[in-house]
Amino acid sequence: MAIKEGWTGRVYEDFEVGDIYPHPLGRTVTTADNIWFTMMTQNTNPIHFDHAYAARTEFKKPLVNSCFTLALVTGQSVTDLSQNVMANLGWDEVRLPHPVFEGDTIYSRSEVLDKRDSQSRPNVGIVRVKTTGFNQDGKTVIEYKRTFMVYKRGQVPETVRVTPPRS
């Protein structure tokens, strides 16, 4: 049986300004996701975890923690953008034009805005993207620009791989 290597992610040279990556996985947000993330990050706003309180707001139901939305959409982009990133440099211009609710399914895509060689590290380049997250109805729920340092071809550290014994 042949062992075939899976997707290992893009390196700096693979990015071109104007490329758009529709990220392959959507994710339905659950009540547990919202409550656990909110409690884990010590956010004390009851609109995220107290359904009785949230029912008295204009939304009539809990809002998903916006930091969870940022983390989820960033995570969705890893397979296309940052599998081989050395470091994130920043998230800028984060906008949340439509709320996310428990039960919404979030999808995302990213567009490459800019790329350049790093001035301080010859083994990486700097890439800037605009990422958009949207719900099952196509409504944009988050937009942001993200800048990261990504390894150049031949510079990605080796991943430890365990080869299963042949039977």
> What domains does the chain contain, in order, with CATH numbers?
12-151 (3.10.129.10)
Helix or strand or coil: residue 51?
A: helix
pTM: 0.90
Q: How far lies 26's CA from each of 3, 72, 73, 151, in Å?
A: 29, 10, 9, 27
pLDDT band at 157 (very low <50, low <70, confident <90, very high): confident
Helix pair 66-77, 31-40: axis angle to 10 deg = 110
Number of residues in the chain: 167
Among 61-75, 79-93, 153-167, which is the least confidently predicted range? 153-167
